[in-house]
Amino acid sequence: MDPKKKTVGFVPDQDVNTSDLPSPGSSNPSAVNTPVSAFSDNQDLNRNTANTEPRPINSSGSRSSYEPMKSSYEEQWGLSDRAQSKTQKAASSSAGAGAKDAGSNKKDTKAKRVSIASPVNSNAASGKEGAKGSGLGIQSNASSMEGSQNGGAGLSGGPPTSGGKGGSQRPSAPSQKSMTKAERRELQEKQKAEKAARISAGLPASGKKAAQVLAQPSSGFSPNPSKSLATSFPGVEAEKAIAAAESTGQTKRREKLTKEIGLFAHLDPPKFANTATAPRDLHPAVVNVGLQMAQFKICGANARCVATLNAFRKAIQDYSPPPNTTLSRGMQGYLNPHISYLVTCRPMAVSMGNAIRFLKHEIGNNLDLPDEDARVLFMEKIDNFIRDRITMADQVITSLGLQKIQDGDVILTYARSSVVQSLLLAAHAKGIKFRVIVVDSRPRFEGKQLLRALANVGVPCTYVLLTAIGHVMKEVNKVILGAHSLLSNGALYSRAGTAVVAMSAHELKIPVIVCCETYKFSDRVQLDSFVQNEIGNPDELVNDQNNNYGHSSTRCHDSVRGSDTSATSASKGAGGGVLSGWRESRDLKLLNLLYDLTPSEFVTVVVTEVGLIPCTSVPVILREFLPMIQQS
Amino acid sequence: MSEEFDVVENYKDLLRSSPELSMPVAAIQALVELIKHSKATTMSEFMLSIKDASQRLKSSVRNSISLSAGCDLFLRFVTRNSHDVADFETWKATLIVRGQSFVEKADACRYKIADLGVPFIKDGSVVLIHAHSRVVSLLLQKASENHKRFKVFVTESSQTQGGIRSAKMLRAAGIPTTIILDAAVGYVIDKVDMVLVGAEGVVENGGLINQIGSYQMAIVAKAANKPFYAVAESYKFVRLFPLNQYDLPTYNADTLSFQELNVDYEARVNEDGTIVPGSTAVSAASSTALSQTALHMKTSEDRASQGSNPLVDYTPPNYITLLFTDLGVLTPSGVSDELIKLYL
């Protein structure tokens, strides 16, 4: 029972995040009441309704610690729990490493946060008297017990998603939640590694926390819970679990945990910021950029490319070659771990790939230059690349694109592209009278940024979601889209949803204008979105009601905090809508593809810095034009 | 500068003196003449005068598309060579020589295209052509000379009556030819084996700018699964990228505008001299004789609104099967390849 109490004490802190609060209530009456009231305004009806059902099931679970595990869920749960314990071990160790890494990088606030968060995890884990496996089991037990108690008491506020299987789902969820919340707590209170002591203290701590918990929800639609839900990276834990599972060679388990989808098994699973696995000698600037990209703080092909190049520039600036090599030769080997680190953070963008290829090409061409000359040369080349291929290119694209915007136009655009945004702003600045329809979609809602930028300068805007595309397309006379990449067969590889927009425009014979710098052209050929794509964090799809009110900028902001908590997935689920228990549901998988492929016949024209070209001319540009640039 | 030399006048003289000359070639020839008369002493002054002249040429005619193709090509030629100029005078001389040789070769272009296109005309086939195009007529004449037996439908093309001119030429060459109404394209398309049109300009995506009516022929041909071939000299490739019909440089606010009601149009028609006699929207319903009477029946409003009718339309590349050019037989995307090579 002792362990239970501990876990109970633990739970309340965590619940900052979400609905779990009810369970603590069982052990602590005062807490019970408060969460309910808090929920009444803050939490969704969903939860309450959902909660009512699962309880009976839970109640069947006996209090003795391990019994419940033998229920029909046992397989799933047992497996996942054990895996999680491993995960947590791995997490604690990796977190320690991560902390060290991050700690070395004082400039990087994010890194610091990560480091803070991860020790928390490890502490929490170790706080359970070191016996992690048993500790976990106890936890899950305790939670199930709580669930049963709740059911008996008829309190509202059990985990929302549990549904029929609630009992099974619960155990794991609380444990994860507890981790998360603990982390969050720590962040907020800025108490660090000493948490273990507090945990052992048990109830008193929980009481305080419960009080705080109460305070937060009662603030009405307090942004914090929703933000944390939206931004946290629950997958972190899953990933670690995967790593653990892999290490033990249990691939079956892996599949179950990742909820991998057969058709997309060849794609990398979603990645999460993790400095733990990174080699030690990475340049902090690159580490920084990698983390930011993993958390989607840096997002968009141009932004990622510029950030990467600038980080490499710093790395080159600070690089001193080992003895007996020139800087260029040393650099060749030096960059590779950086690049592979970036790939571990998030799959490489085509733009980054091209830029890095350019850089390597330059290095390879100047192997025998004196060190300082080479350093200056490479830095200058990077600056020139950013200037010529991105900054100036965008300006030229903007001026060329202006030719195609006339008075009275109704322009539709999807999500947000930096080039499209500057084009529309320039058109407005030029005095052209036009209207913009911003089409947006879950889960990232990138269009809101564009909408804000346009609305701020007074462009008449309409904002709709992708579902309304058929309706709004009728009044549109031009569609302007951004691009992640243009492939050699003329296909457009861009944010998921672009293909639908282009297709419906094509259907109505509305010209589709794509703005794309030539450095994003790829010599790849792709016929569908399956061969190559990027899988995003599936949990982004889950928290419907929360995501709908957050927009990406605040989400990004929050993701700093959210990502730190490595165990948020379950707790997050508890705050979400009907999908929140998806990880526990045997047959439910979520797929969050980030890109899709628009066939070339849906694209009327591509605006590039070399002029307006049909998208089938991509290989011509690659063949004829780019060599010219590289020579000059 | 070219105060004493009027490019526009020279250009019009050239066209008048040799009707076989096409607009872009005449424009280039006029610009070469300008260089001959140029008294510019510095590079920038010289470039300025050429740019100014080509601008004046373009604005001198209502439909400047093929003209601007020639001007742009020449300008590109001049600027591309301007990087490595050692001696200004000799450079001018080479420009003149090159320009003249280009003009001379322009004629050969058509013959080359005709040779390339002849194999596409099968013995016993029926060809539908639109209005009048020198290069299309030449191609058909060549085919006839090669003992191909085929028949031709030619649209009347009511705005310029070009179809009547084509029919005369083709009959003279011994090719059975029937003039059809512009509105009868859909009626005859099932009897037709291929559609052949000329071009005023070929745009960057491989689309076509041609006399009004080409687009609807292309649509009909596509619907009937008949091949639609365009025939164009490479100097008609123009750096334009129209998104649709209303994105052409010839389009303006007056094009196909709706007339205000209760306005006296007589005055407006008089000052607007662009109405071609016999160009009627109504005449499609009738033979020449009928159209005469129709013309009499028309109110001044009708004639005023005719003035706002477009002269050219744009055929998107997806309707075009192949383009016969002097660079070879190209797909539409092949055109953009060539243009990119030329202009980048």
Position A116 pLDDT exceeds 80 = no
Sign, CA torsion A84/A88/A93/A99: positive
Question: String of b and e for A360-394 (b: at least 16 CB within 10 Å)?
Answer: eebbeebeebebeebbebbeebbeebbeebbeebb
What is the crossing angle of helices A166-189 and A109-127, to 10°?
A: 130
* Cα distance between residue A346 and residue A272, in whole Å: 8
Contact B336 A605 (CB under 8 A): no
pTM of the predicted model as reported, rounded to 2 decimal places: 0.68
Q: Looking at beta carbons, which residues of chain B come within 8 Å of A478?
A: 243
Q: Which of A604, A617, A628 sits opposite B243 (nearest CB)?
A: A604
Which residues on B lie below 8 Å from A511 (Cβ)?
Answer: 243-244, 247
Checking if the pLDDT of A496 tops 50, the result is: yes
DSSP secondary structure code for residue A141 in this structure? H
Mean pLDDT for the stretch of residues A518-541 = 91
Coil, strand or helix at A595:
strand
For chain B, count helices (H), then strands (E).
13, 10
Chain centre distance of CA A77: 26
> Is residue A242, in this structure, part of any structural domain at all?
no
Contacts of B344 in chain A (CB under 8 A): 610-611, 624-625, 628
Contact flag B204-A612 (C-beta cutoff 8 Å): yes
Q: Evaluate whether B208 touches B320 at the Cβ level (below 8 Å).
A: yes
- A461-465 and A605-608 strand pairing: unpaired
- A174 and A86 fall within a common domain: yes
Shared domain check, A128 and A45: yes
CATH number of B7-112: 1.20.120.420
Query: To the nearest whole percent, how much of chain A has pLDDT over 70?
Result: 52
Tens-place pLDDT, residues B219-256: 999 999 999 999 999 999 988 999 999 998 888 877 77
Residue A359 maps to a domain:
yes
What's residue A474's pLDDT? 94
- Whether residue A473 contacts residue A414, with contact meaning beta carbons closer than 8 Å, is answered with no
| Residues A420 and A330 both lie in one domain | no
* pLDDT confidence tier of residue A38, bands split at 50, 70 and 90: very low
Clarify whether residues A483 and A366 are in a common domain.
no
Kindly state whether B244 is in contact with chain A, defined as any CB-CB distance less than 8 angstroms.
yes
Bridge partners of residue B339, in order along the sequence:
none
Pairing of strands B150-155, B177-180: parallel
Q: In angstroms, rounded to a whole number, what is the distance separating the alpha carbons of residues A549 and A544?
A: 9
Q: Are residues A459 and A605 in the same domain?
A: yes
Asked if B340's CB is within 8 angstroms of A613's CB, the reply is yes
* Contact predicate B224/B189, CB 8 Å: yes
Q: Which of A343, A361, A394 is the last residue of a domain?
A: A394
pLDDT score, position A185: 59
Q: Give whole-number Cα distances, B307 to B134, B272, B279, in Å.
A: 26, 8, 10
Read off the CATH number of the domain in which A385 is found.
1.20.120
The reply to whether residue B204 touches residue A624, judged by beta carbons under 8 angstroms, is no
C-alpha Rg value of chain A to the nearest Å: 26
B176 cis-preceded (ω within 30 degrees of 0): no
Q: Select the more confidently predicted residue: B184 or A143.
A: B184
Q: Indicate whether A508 and A449 sit together in one domain.
A: yes
Phi-psi region of B121 (alpha: psi -120 to 50; beta: other; left: phi over 0): beta
- Residue spans per domain, chain B: 7-112, 265-306
Q: How far is A620 from chain B (nearest CA, A)?
A: 6
Q: What is the pLDDT along chain B (344 residues), one digit of tens a residue?
A: 445 678 888 888 888 888 778 888 888 888 888 888 888 888 888 888 888 888 888 888 877 888 888 888 888 888 877 777 778 888 888 888 888 888 888 888 999 999 999 999 999 999 999 999 999 999 999 999 999 999 999 999 887 889 999 999 999 999 999 999 999 999 999 999 999 999 999 999 999 999 999 999 999 999 999 999 999 999 999 889 999 999 988 888 777 777 766 655 554 444 444 444 443 343 333 344 444 444 555 566 566 556 678 889 999 999 999 999 999 999 999 999 998 888 77
Query: Exposed (0-12), middle (13-18) or buried (19+): which is A224, by Cβ within 10 Å?
Result: middle
The whole-angstrom distance between A604's CA and the closest CA on chain B is 7
Look up residue B11 and give its two tokens.
């250009």
* Domain membership flag for residue A581: no
Question: Is residue A585, in this structure, part of any structural domain at all?
Answer: no
For B59, the enclosing helix (H) or strand (E) is helix B43-60
Distance CA A284, CA A311 (A): 9
Q: Is the pLDDT of residue A102 over 50?
A: no
**pLDDT computed for residue B332 by the predictor:** 94
Digit-coded pLDDT (tens) for A232-271: 444 455 555 555 544 554 444 444 455 778 888 888 887 7
* CA A269/CA B69 separation, integer angstroms: 53
pLDDT of residue A576: 53
- Say if A169 falls within a structural domain: yes
Residue A567 has pLDDT above 80, yes or no: no
Q: What is the distance between the alpha carbons of residues A572 and A234, in angstroms, rounded to a whole number?
A: 7
- Is residue A165 predicted with pLDDT exceeding 70? no
B308: contact with A, CB 8 A cutoff: no
More confident residue, B6 or A279: B6
Comparing A294 with A70, which gets the higher pLDDT? A294
| Residues A384 and A486 grouped into a single domain | no
Sheet holding B201-202, edge to edge: B201-202, B208-211, B312-315
For A627, nearest residue in chain B (alpha carbons): B344
**Chain A residues whose C-beta sits inside 8 Å of any chain B C-beta:** 404, 478, 509, 511, 513, 601, 604-605, 610-614, 616-617, 620-621, 624-625, 628
What tokens does A228 get?
């944390």
Provide the domain limits for residue A340. Answer: 284-394
Q: What integer pLDDT is reported at residue A87 of this predicted model? A: 41
Domain-located, residue A260: no
Give the C-alpha separation, A126 to A249, whole Å: 25
C-beta separation of A295 from A268 below 8 A: no
Cα separation of B44 and A348, whole Å? 47
Chain B residue numbers with beta carbons less than 8 Å from the beta carbon of A624 are: 340-341, 344
Q: What is the pLDDT of residues A1-13, one digit of tens each?
A: 444 444 333 333 3
Q: How many CB atoms lie within 10 A of CB A255?
A: 15
**Chain A interface includes B204 (CB < 8 A):** yes
Residues of chain B contacting A601 with CB distance shorter than 8 Å: 318
Q: Tens digit of pLDDT for each residue in A598-613?
A: 999 999 999 999 999 9
User: In this structure, is residue A253 part of a structural domain?
Assistant: no
**A374 and A410 both lie in a single domain:** no
At A335-354, the pLDDT tens digits run: 999 999 999 889 999 999 99
Angle at B291 between CA B287 and CA B294, to 5 degrees: 140
Count structural domains, chain A: 3
pLDDT at A485: 96
Interhelix angle B43-60/B7-17, nearest 10 degrees: 50
- Per the model's pLDDT, the better-predicted residue between A533 and A153 turns out to be A533
Positive or negative CA dihedral for A150, A151, A153, A156?
positive
What is the pLDDT, as a whole number, of residue B213? 94
What gap in Å lies between CA A115 and CA A276, rounded to an integer? 10
pLDDT at residue B186 in the model: 96
Q: Report yes or no on A267 lying in a domain.
A: no
Statement to judge: residues A151 and A207 lie in one domain: yes
CA distance A34 to A218: 9
CB contact under 8 A, B243 and A617: no
Q: Between these two residues, A138 and A592, which has the higher pLDDT value?
A: A592
CB contact under 8 A, A605 and B243: yes
Chain A: closest CA distance from residue B134 (Å): 29
- SS3 readout for A206-266: HHHHHHHHHHHHHCCCCHHHHHHHHHCCCHHHHHHHHHHHHHCCCHHHHHHHHCCCHHHCC
Give the ipTM. 0.83
Point out the residue among B204, B343, B344 whose CB comes nearest to the CB of A614. B204
